[in-house]
Amino acid sequence: MAEEVPAELVRSLEGTAREVRKEVIRMTFAAQSGHPGGSLSVADILTTLVFHELRIDPARVDWPDRDRLVLSKGHASPAMYATLALRGFLPREELSTFRQLGSRLQGHVDRTKLPCIEASTGCLGQGIGMAVGMALDARLRKASYRTYAVIGDGECQAGPTWEALMAGGHYRLSNLVVILDRNGLETDGSTEAIMGIEPIVEKFRAFRYHTIDIDGHSIPALLDAFAEARRTTDGPTAIVARTVKGKGVSFMEGKHQYHGKAPNSAEAEQALAELSRGEGAPS
Amino acid sequence: MSAFAVGKPESLRDAYGKALVALGEKDPELVVFDADLSGSTRTILFGQKFPDRFFNVGVMEPTMMTMAAGLALQGRTVYASTFAVFAAGQAYNAVRQSICYNQANVKIVATHGGLLVGADGGTHQIVEDIGLMRGLPGMTVIVPADAPTTRAATFAVADRYGPAYVRLTRENLPPVTDGSFAIGKAAELRSGSDLTMVAVGSLVARALEVAEDLQKVGVSTRVLDFASVKPFDAPALLRAARDTGAILVLEEHSVLTGVGALVASTTSENSPVPVRRVGVPDLFGESGEPWALLDRYGMSKERITEEAWELLKARGKVQ
């Protein structure tokens, strides 16, 4: 059952997500590389996690009881860096160093360079397994922290993703939440044309996950789903967040070509203009 | 004379399992993983003693490695065991990214390395694992020659933060060391001045046997147990090169990427001397009696002796 979600909170998170998207465009444009499509699709998910759901503190990145966030789809690093920067985990100016030699902001997130990253990821199907390990650690320690793993839909074609999901279900890890950024596209095109992952909700249920199917761009729906996950105490939760690749930038939306292609100068200008126009209006 | 008499063969895997139990008693946070081979790898000894800290995850080796990394990054020491073909082969990229790239404190103790797997055949006889693992930045690689070194190495990798790969042999092996293993140190098991044998794992005992035979005809052979493959004891290796002028490498592993390649490149850059490699040629193994396989694939005592004479000829020490 949906809880009452304060409108002010929703507006605030929507505004932050727009800022995240703008930073994604600036970063990938400046680097002339990176993955804008999947970063734009995951922006609302990461914003809701980092600005509301997670118990984290920028002043204490090694706080033992902090919630763990693992970006298993490590190529969405621009969205991750932007969200964490806006939340105060790194200087916003540092975002311009993305993918440059010597930067802490690697092409795929790297914990050894940037301490607020819980796990270095990039090769798909691994972050989710590390997240299962973290949830097991919390259970062994009787610690209160929760673990959130954000996975991609192309990643759901990888065998180890299902190994890890199987383990999370087997151990009944109610402190584990898996969020699928279901944008429907991977590098070469549609997931369903290349190697279909549907019926994905049924698959998660078969793997013993309490599964919630939502609009992944709806902040109220995300807030509700995370609250429902907290109330779920008999096993892990999977949130299938239906999203649009390239969300918020008209010419990128639904285009697999922007999975791993940076905008050029004119495209970046148009994208930033579109994202700015959205300010103040409900999305 | 050999520094250590060759005794009754002992199980390296039992030594590992018992050492794990001792570690578990000492470190209440230590966690152990296995992938449905706990009876063979002997992690079951730990599992019986500490069931809450033992995870038998079934046949999912890559995810065993990623889960182990996830726990290790929370400050734990984690051991993960399975056969070497699965640990280094099946799970390679999980070991690479989740453990090594993340600098996670996971100790992979892989059993059934090499041809001595025997009857299971070439699918299960990995002869590439030392090369794969020593190529990973930050990875410590240990290849014990006997049970005492296995026990010491199991403890030693726990005391050194970071990823480690320990390769064990399925077959029982005679004790050839006193167990005074240290990471980064080669053990000189026999002194000598005409030739050095650098050996790892199952071939250390054979090296000592051949050295003993050579002594009878007046050839003085130094034998180095090179159990610490990475980091390796460069000073001991280069001293051996200078002192004896020739090196024979013995390993139950592909000669393309193993310890032979390491020794040849290190000596050639620093102290060039003739090096010959005894090991598995560029071939997969096959089913057979374990020790007969070693003979068949070029690691017989006769072959080792021939290679030793080739080196002595190259050095002009014999005609």
Residues B16 and B162 grouped into a single domain? yes
CA distance B66 to chain A (A): 5
Using CB atoms within 10 Å of the CB of residue A271, give its burial: 0 to 12 exposed, 13 to 18 middle, 19+ buried. buried
Min Cα distance A258 → chain B (Å) is: 26
Closest by Cα among A139, A141, A161 to A149: A161
Is residue B319 situated within a structural domain?
Answer: no
Q: Which residue in A130, A142, A153, A262 sits closest to A216, CA to CA?
A: A153
Domain presence at residue A282? no
User: Do B124 and B255 belong to one domain?
Assistant: no
The identity of residue B54, as a single letter, is F
Give strand pairing partners of B183.
none
| A2 in a structural domain | no
State the residue range of the domain holding B244: 187-313
| Within-domain flag for A84 | yes
Within this chain, do residues B195 and B102 fall inside the same structural domain, yes or no?
A: no
B149 and B220 part of one domain: no
Domain boundary (B133, B167, B201) is at B167
Among the listed residues B235, B230, B267, B269, the one whose alpha carbon sits nearest the alpha carbon of residue B248: B267
Is the minimum CB–CB distance between A119 and chain B shorter than 8 Å?
yes
In a domain, B125, yes or no: yes
Token couple for B87: 């640990």
Q: What is the pLDDT of residues B128-177, one digit of tens each?
A: 999 999 999 999 999 999 999 999 999 999 999 999 999 999 999 999 99
pLDDT the model gives residue A3: 61
Residues in B closer than 8 angstroms to A167, CB to CB, are 57, 60, 63, 67
Cβ of A123 within 8 Å of Cβ of B93? The answer is: yes
Among A73, A123, A137, A176, pick the best mutation site for testing chain B contact (most B Cβ within 10 A). A137
- Domain at A57, CATH number: 3.40.50.970
Task: Tell me the pLDDT tens digit for each residue of A125-135.
Answer: 999 999 999 99
What does the pLDDT look like over B43-94, one tens digit per residue? 999 999 999 999 999 999 999 999 999 999 999 999 999 999 999 999 999 9
Distance between CA atoms of B110 and A253, rounded to whole angstroms?
A: 47
CA–CA dist A35, A261 (Å, integer): 6
**From CA A149, how far away is CA A163, in angstroms rounded?**
14
pLDDT at A2 over 60: no
Asked if A112's CB is within 8 angstroms of B63's CB, the reply is: no
Q: What three-state secondary structure class fits A34? A: coil
Find, among B302, B304, B305, B298, the residue nearest to B283 by Cα.
B298
B3 contact A CB<8A: no
Q: Which residues contact A142 (CB under 8 A, 6 or more apart)?
A: none
In a domain, A1, yes or no: no
**Which token pair is B59?**
């046949």
Give every CB contact of residue B226 below 8 A, 6+ residues apart in sequence.
B143, B186, B198, B199, B200, B232, B233, B237, B259, B263
d(CA A120, CA B101): 7
- Which of A123, A141, A164 is opposite residue B63, by nearest beta carbon? A164
Does B107 fall in a domain? yes
Q: What is the pLDDT of residues B198-255, one digit of tens each?
A: 999 999 999 999 999 999 999 999 999 999 999 999 999 999 999 999 999 999 999 9
B-chain residues within 8 Å CB-CB of A141? 74
Both B135 and B196 in one domain: the answer is: no
| Rg of chain B (C-alpha set) | 19
Is residue B292 located within the same domain as residue B239? yes
A130 touching B, CB under 8 A?
yes
Q: What is the pLDDT of residues A142-185, one digit of tens each?
A: 999 999 999 999 999 999 999 999 999 999 999 999 999 999 99
pLDDT digits (tens, 9 = 90+) for B253-305: 999 999 999 999 999 999 999 999 999 999 999 999 999 999 999 999 999 99
Return the CATH number at B117. 3.40.50.970
Domain of A258, in residue numbers: 7-277
SS3 A151: strand
Cβ atoms within 10 Å of A60's Cβ, excluding its own? 10
Q: What is the mean pLDDT of chain A?
A: 96
Preceding amide of B231 cis, omega within 30: yes
Instruction: Give a yes or no: residue B230 inside a domain.
Output: yes
What is the crossing angle of helices A77-86 and A36-48, to 10°? 40
pLDDT of A278 higher than 90: no
Which residue among B52, B73, B93 sits closest to A119, beta carbon to beta carbon?
B73
> Is residue A153 classed as helix, strand or coil in its secondary structure?
coil
Q: How far apart are CA B143 and CA B253, in angstroms?
A: 11
pLDDT value, residue B203: 98
Pinpoint the alpha helices (H) of chain A. 7-31, 36-48, 77-86, 127-141, 159-170, 191-195, 200-206, 219-231, 265-277
